[in-house]
């Protein structure tokens, strides 16, 4: 979602802010701006479009060593220069940047207008700047606290006042905000990516906390009261080169090809061949507690939901434990029933997905045991769950998730192995599962040998406007994920279905203008899927099939094939999804799309 950054220090703030905003581009945005303070005045520069355009209109020698910046993803108000952040009060001596949604802004705005305030934008955020000017009596922190008591909704806010140079004040409620501690300089940001080039020392703020920073000090307190809060300074383990393209054309391309390594990181040190099981110490559960689990429920959104669907098939078939995956956005408003001896997983790459975070909080209020599966260390879900599994995928910059999906799968496969060995899985079966899981990095790497062939197929089919993705069993969720990837970055309409469901409606869409992509691994449902392929061919539909290299029947039925290495039956979701990611990537490339930052999308959805 939107990105924010604030800086106090000895350097030229404009350049620091622009660099930070550039590193936040991956979150998705439609406009951007900065505000820099100097000589008891604030200078605001903002515009629609890319950071590169903003950089071009910011004065080359903009003076000032403190300021705030923002990348906006429109919620209230159209995309234009006026609605871009930062927003100021009428006098122009207060400026704010805001992530989130102020739900009662219209009431507040009407009252302010009746008192003589003149608004420039259509945004909900501008009311914060006007309210600050009403409450300001020489202390920006006190003014912000007074304003926050009036706001209903979510926010990550940073504000600045021209009369308090080299000071920023920030607060969070439902939208992430992190303090980064440098050498004689301080930062506030919505994401550690914005500050990683300057420092690895960070403090994660919690909801209801207010922070004030100067060049060399910070003060954190509760919204209600002035008592200081002592917080632990965390050290970020990612290196700056991890968030660079490293010779690739796009971050998405880089992240697709990083998957052998990211899968290895997810499983490394967690497999125990000697006992044919897995170690997941982060669960903070004893063997007795794990043994007593009677059902598992997975809560997630988007790509993480598809990973959860694969896990639900896997856990039921291997561990013989009832398991379901649910959309967090639906569960959070459904008054869910929490059953005894149930274990919940909240799954999110960023750990900040608002629907998943809110669903997790609702479940915990009802007494559920909720574990997190996250990529970002220190994220809200990771902190509030208090236990779970980090997938160690490394920074994922492209909006369309790729390596996080396979790493999430790896985490679920480890958990399935662990709990299966406590129930019905024999020692030998456990050893076989470990061998199959350990072989995945090399098998995924072998799949890249199809890279040029997949690119040629993507170019061949790029002019079609509709696709069907079809799979069965464990690979049905992979079909959903393949369709999502094509939609996200190529803007081509695509739908994922169980291949068995094609006769229940979707077959009406089949014609020579709607290609079908079938997932046909060498598993127990192979014959069923081939039968569905033949039904499509009988209706003049074009078929692209993903299959193992020696499957002659599939080759003779499909118009085109993409081959994958042979593997254990349960491992095919890893090997099927990577070609689908590449197919989407090369299709988008052929169509000239903005692959890393597709239109209307954000990397982390932090508002409803």
Task: For residue 155, name the pLDDT band (cuts at 50, 70, 90).
Answer: very high
Give the model's pLDDT for residue 607: 67
Residue 246 lies in a domain: no
Residue 564 lies in a domain: yes
Residue 205 lies in a domain: yes
Q: What angle (nearest 5°) sits at the alpha carbon of residue 451, between those of residues 450 and 454? A: 80
Residue 330 lies in a domain: yes
Summarize pLDDT for 70-112 with one digit per residue, the tens: 999 877 788 899 999 999 999 999 999 999 889 999 999 999 9
CATH number at residue 188: 3.60.20.10
The burial class, CB within 10 Å (0-12 / 13-18 / 19+), for 146 is: middle
SS3 content of the chain, % helix, strand, coil (to 5): 40, 25, 40
Do 143 and 284 reside in the same domain of the chain? no
Catalytic residue among 2, 159, 323, 374: 2
Do 230 and 356 reside in the same domain of the chain? no
CATH number at residue 458: 3.40.50.10490
Do 162 and 19 reside in the same domain of the chain? yes
Do 453 and 434 reside in the same domain of the chain? no
Domain boundary among 384, 410, 438: 438
Rounded CA gap, 236 and 182, in Å?
13
| Predicted TM-score of the model (pTM) | 0.84
What is the domain extent for residue 410? 254-438
Do 420 and 454 reside in the same domain of the chain? no
Whether 129 shows a pLDDT value over 90: the answer reads: yes
Residue 413 has a CB neighbour count (10 Å cut-off) of 27
Q: Strand pairing partners for 299?
A: 326, 346
Do 16 and 108 reside in the same domain of the chain? yes
Residue 12 lies in a domain: yes
CB 417 within 8 A of CB 437: yes
Do 335 and 427 reside in the same domain of the chain? yes
Catalytic residue among 50, 109, 254, 603: 603
Residue 19 has a CB neighbour count (10 Å cut-off) of 18
SS3 label, residue 458: helix
Residue 144 lies in a domain: yes
Do 473 and 522 reside in the same domain of the chain? yes
Residue 457 lies in a domain: yes
Residue 276 lies in a domain: yes
Do 281 and 190 reside in the same domain of the chain? no
Give how many domains the chain has, as a whole number.
Answer: 3
Catalytic annotation present for 603: yes
Catalytic annotation present for 547: no
Q: How distant, in Å, are the alpha carbons of 151, 177, 191, 193, 396 from that of 237? A: 36, 18, 14, 12, 14
Q: Please give the DSSP secondary-structure letter assigned to residue 233.
A: P
Task: For residue 608, name the pLDDT band (cuts at 50, 70, 90).
Answer: low
Do 63 and 205 reside in the same domain of the chain? yes
Summarize pLDDT for 313-369 with one digit per residue, the tens: 999 999 999 999 999 999 988 888 999 999 999 999 999 898 999 999 999 999 999
Do 410 and 310 reside in the same domain of the chain? yes
Q: How distant, in Å, are the alpha carbons of 223, 312, 379, 390, 605 from that of 176? A: 16, 30, 8, 19, 11
Do 19 and 161 reside in the same domain of the chain? yes
Q: What is the DSSP string of 238-279?
A: --GGGGS-TT-SSHHHHHHHTHHHHHHHHHTTTEETTTTEE-
Domain boundary among 438, 463, 497: 438
Domain boundary among 407, 438, 469: 438
Summarize pLDDT for 259-272 with one digit per residue, the tens: 999 999 999 999 99
CB 575 within 8 A of CB 444: yes
Nearest to 411 by CA among 445, 382, 383: 382
């Amino acid at each position: 979602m939107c990105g924010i950054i604030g800086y106090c220090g000895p350097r030229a703030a404009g350049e620091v802010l622009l660099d930070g905003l550039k590193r936040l581009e991956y979150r998705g945005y439609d406009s951007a701006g900065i505000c820099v303070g100097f000589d008891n005045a604030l200078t605001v520069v903002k515009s629609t479009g890319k950071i590169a355009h903003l950089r071009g209109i910011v004065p080359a020698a903009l003076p000032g060593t403190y300021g705030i910046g923002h990348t906006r993803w429109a919620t209230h108000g159209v995309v234009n220069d006026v609605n871009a952040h930062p927003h100021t009060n009428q006098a122009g001596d207060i400026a704010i940047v805001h992530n989130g949604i102020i739900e009662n802004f219209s009431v507040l705005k009407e009252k302010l207008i009746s008192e003589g305030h003149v608004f420039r934008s259509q945004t909900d955020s501008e009311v914060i700047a006007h309210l600050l000017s009403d409450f300001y009596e020489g202390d920006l922190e006190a003014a912000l606290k007074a304003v926050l008591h009036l706001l209903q909704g979510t926010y990550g806010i940073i504000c600045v006042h021209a009369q308090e140079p080299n000071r920023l004040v920030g607060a969070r409620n439902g939208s992430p905000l992190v303090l980064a501690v440098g050498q004689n300089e301080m930062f506030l940001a919505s994401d550690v990516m914005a500050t990683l080039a300057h420092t690895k020392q960070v403090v994660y703020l919690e909801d209801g906390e207010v922070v004030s920073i100067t060049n060399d000090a910070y003060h954190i307190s509760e919204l209600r009261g002035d008592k200081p809060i002592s917080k632990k300074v965390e050290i970020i383990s990612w290196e700056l080169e991890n968030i660079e393209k490293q010779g690739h054309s796009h971050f998405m391309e880089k992240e697709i090809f990083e998957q052998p390594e990211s899968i290895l990181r997810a499983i490394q040190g967690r497999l125990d061949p000697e006992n044919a099981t897995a170690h997941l110490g982060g669960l903070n559960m004893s063997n007795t507690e794990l043994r007593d689990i009677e059902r598992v429920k997975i809560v997630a959104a988007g790509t993480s939901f598809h990973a959860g669907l694969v896990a639900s098939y896997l856990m039921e078939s291997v561990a013989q434990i009832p398991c379901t995956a649910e959309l967090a956005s639906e569960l959070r408003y459904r008054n869910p029933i929490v059953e005894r001896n149930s274990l919940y997983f909240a799954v999110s790459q960023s750990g900040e997905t608002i629907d998943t975070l809110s669903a997790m909080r609702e479940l915990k209020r009802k007494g559920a045991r909720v574990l997190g599966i996250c990529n970002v260390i220190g994220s809200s879900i990771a902190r509030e769950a208090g236990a779970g599994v980090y997938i160690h995928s490394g920074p994922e910059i492209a909006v369309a998730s790729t390596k996080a999906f396979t790493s999430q799968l790896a985490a679920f496969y480890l958990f399935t192995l662990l709990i299966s060995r406590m129930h019905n899985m024999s020692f030998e079966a456990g050893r076989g599962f470990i061998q199959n899981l350990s072989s995945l990095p090399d098998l995924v790497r072998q799949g890249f040998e199809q890279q040029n062939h997949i690119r040629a197929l993507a170019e061949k089919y790029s002019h079609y406007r509709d696709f069907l993705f079809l799979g069965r069993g464990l690979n049905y969720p992979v079909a959903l994920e393949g369709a999502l990837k094509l939609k996200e970055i190529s803007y081509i309409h695509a739908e994922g279905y169980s291949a068995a469901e094609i006769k229940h409606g979707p077959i009406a869409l089949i014609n020579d203008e709607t290609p079908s992509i079938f997932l046909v691994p060498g598993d127990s449902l192979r014959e069923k899927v081939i039968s569905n392929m033949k039904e499509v061919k009988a209706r003049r539909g074009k078929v692209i099939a993903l299959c193992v290299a020696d499957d002659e029947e599939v080759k003779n039925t499909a118009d085109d094939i993409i081959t994958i290495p042979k593997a254990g039956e349960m491992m095919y979701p890893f090997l099927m999804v990577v070609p689908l990611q590449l197919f989407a990537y090369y299709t988008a490339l052929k169509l000239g799309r903005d692959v890393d930052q597709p239109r209307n999308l954000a990397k982390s959805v932090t508002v409803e």
